[in-house]
Structure 1
Amino acid sequence: MTGSIQPQVSRPPSRKLARAGIRDVAAAAGVSITTVSDALNGKGRLPEATRRHVREVADRLGYRPSAAARALRTGKSGLIGLTVTTYGEEPFTFTEFAYFAEMARAATSAALARGYALVILPATSRHDVWSNVALDGTVVIDPAEGDPVVSEIVRQGIPVVSDGRPGGSLPVTAWVDNDHQAAVLDLLDHLADAGARRIGLLTGTSTDTYTRLSTTAYLTWCERVGQDPVYESYPAHDPRAGAVAADRLLARPDRPDAVYGLFDPNGTDLLAATRRYGLRVPDDLMLVCCSESPGYASTDPPITTLSLKPRRIGTAVVQLLIDAIEGVDAGRPIEQVIPTDLIVRASSQRRPPRTVVSAPRRPA
C-alpha cells in the first residue's frame, strides 16, 4: 500500500523564555541597578513613587530575587530547620501524629509570613542532610537531656529554639512549652471527681521533658491522695509497643478503673484493650489521652483528650527563632508557657447509678 507523502513544515527552534534579571528591571524602569535593589529591599532614601514604579516593573517582568544572591549579600539563607530528636537513632515519622502535623503547619505559615522557608530534617546521625543545608536557625521538638544534635547546632553558632523545656543545661536560645504538671494534676482530679478510685498511667521511656514532667506529676498526685501508682512504660516511637503496654496495664491484678495515656495512639489502644477484656467505657474504665486528633470525638464512646495547643506553640517558636536570627528585640519573653485545654467527652463521665422510684401506695 502506497501512502501519500506529507510536505514537511520547518519550524523555528523553540526558545525558552529567559528569566528576567535585575539588569532587565533596571533598564525597563529607567533606573540604576542599585536603585532597583534598594527599592525591592526597602533600603536607601528613595521617593515612594520610585519604589512603587520599580516594584510594578519587577512584577510585570516576573522578576524574583535570586536566593543565592540574597545569601551572598546578607549572609542568610532564609531557611530554618525543624526536627524531633527525642528518639535519637530510632525511626520516627513524627508528622503522622496530629500534634506534630499541626505544629509544623503553624510553624510553616509563621515562617513564610516573615520571609523564611521551613525545612523538616531527620534527627539521626546516619543522614548527612544537616551538613548540606545552610540553616539560619533550628526548631527542635522535645529535646532530651544532653541532646547531641542540639549541642552541635549551638556549637556552630546557629540559634536553637525548643518546643518543650530543654532538659538539664541544654543551651537553647529560647523555649515554648505547656505547664504539663498542672495539666496532669487537673485531669487526674477530673477523673477522681467523676468517681475513679484507682487511676493508671501509660507513659514513655524517653527522657524528654514532656514525658518526665507528666510522669512526675502523676506520681506526685498518687502520693497526695494515698494511691499506689499503677503504670506501664513503653518506647513511644514504637506504635506496636503502645498496644502491648495498654494490654499489660489492663491485665494487672490491681487493674485501674481509669487511665490517662500520654500519647496520641493511647486512646485507641486502650479502647481496643477494654473490648478484649470485656470492659465497658466509662462504666468499668474511664479514659483520657493527650491528643489533637479530631477522630476521638467520634469513637464509641467519644474519648476525652488533653490538647497542648500545637498551633500556638508552632507560631511562637518560629517568631522567637526569627527574632534571634535577625537580632530583633520584639519584647517577647524567651520562655513562654502556653495553656492546655481538657476536652471532656463521654469516656471520662461516668453515668450516675439509675434510681428506681416506686409509685406511692394507696392507703388501705
Structure 2
Amino acid sequence: MHTTVGIVGAGPAGLLLARLLHRSGIDCVVLEQRDRAYVEQRQRAGILEQSTVDVLRECGAADRLDREGLPHDGVELRWDGRRHRLDFPALTGGRRVWVYAQTEVVKDLIALQLRDGPPLLFEAGAEAIEGADTDRPLIRYRHDGRENTLTCDYVVGCDGFHGIARDAVPDTAKKTYERGYPYSWLGILADVAPSSDELVYAHSPRGFALLSMRSPRVSRLYLQVPNGTDPAAWPDERIWDELDARFALDGWTLRRGPVTAKAVLPMRSLVTEPMRHGRLFLAGDAAHIVPPTGAKGLNLAAADVTVLARAFAHLRRTRSADLLDAYSSTSLRRVWRAEHFSHFMTTTLHTDPAQGDFDVRLQISQLDRVAASPHAAAELADNYAGPPIA
C-alpha cells in the first residue's frame, strides 16, 4: 500500500491532521496501535483554546462541541485567602476557551474519519519507520496478525513520547531539552456538579489544587502530590478533605460526590528539535511535552498539525516545499512560548518541597501583581487563551 502521508498515531494530532488533509484532497493513512475503545477512553486534556476550536469548526468537526462544549470567559486564581478572576475576552480582545474533553474530540474525529475520511486502521502497531532521509520512506506495521508495509511520500509521527517516530530520528540529528518537576498531580473524576462555573487555580501552603470540569454534572479536580504517589494511598474522603483545605475561602463550599476515576500524573517539560528529519515530521507529544498547568498539550498538538496541513496543501497547489521546510521553526516558536507559560504557571502555583519562605513570598508577589496590574493580567490571559495559529 502507498499513500502521500503516512500518519502514525490516532490521537487528536493524527486524527485532526488526517481530517485537514482529507479536506485539502491529500490522501493519507492513519495507523493506530490500540483498539478503538481504548483510544476513545483515554483521559487527557479538557481545555480548548480559541484557535483549536476555530480549526475544528473549519474542518467540520465541531458540531457536538458547539452543542455540548462549555465556553469559558475566564479563570479564577486563589491564594493567601483571596480570589481574583481573569476576564479573558476583556483582556485578549474577545478570545475565550472551551471545556470539552480530549476524549470527546477524539470520538468526533474518529466518527468523521470512519464515515468519509481516508483509511484509519486500529490495532495496527507501527514497528519501524525506514528511509526517512529518502524520497520514499516506509512504515512497517503489524495488522490482523500479518506484517505489512506502507510506503509514503511523507511520514508524520503523532504517536507520543514513547512512540517509534521520535526514536526514528537519529540521536545525531536531534537535541532534546528537558526539565522535571518534584511533584505530580493526583487527578479525579467525580459525579458531582462543579463547585464553580469556571476553573479555579489555587496556591496553598499545602500544595496546588485545580478545580475543573468535564460537563455540568461531572467535576475534574487535581491535587499536587509527591512524585511516586500511589493513588490507592488516597481514599476518597482524604481527597475531598485535602481539596477543601486547599480551596478554603470564606463563604465558599466545595461540593462532594462519588469519585469514578483516580490517577497520578507526573509532570515534565520536554522539547525535541528539530521537529523534522528528512521526510519524517514530528507533531504533538512526539516532539514536546508540557506540564498540564497551562492547558497547552492538546492545543499545541492541534497547532502543529494545522501548520503541517497548510504546508502540505501549499505543496499540492504550488509544488513549493517552502512551508514544509519552515514547519519546524514555525511550530517551535509557539512551542517554546507555551513551554515558558506552562513553566511560569507551574512554578508560581505549586509548592516545591525544597523551597523556603522567601520563595513563597515571591510566588505571592507574582500573584498579587496579576491581580493589581492590567498588563500582568493581560499577559497571563493572552497566553492562556492562546494566540492565533501562524
Q: Which has the higher strand share?
A: 2
Fold match (TM-score > 0.5)? no
TM-score (norm 2): 0.29
TM-score (norm 1): 0.30
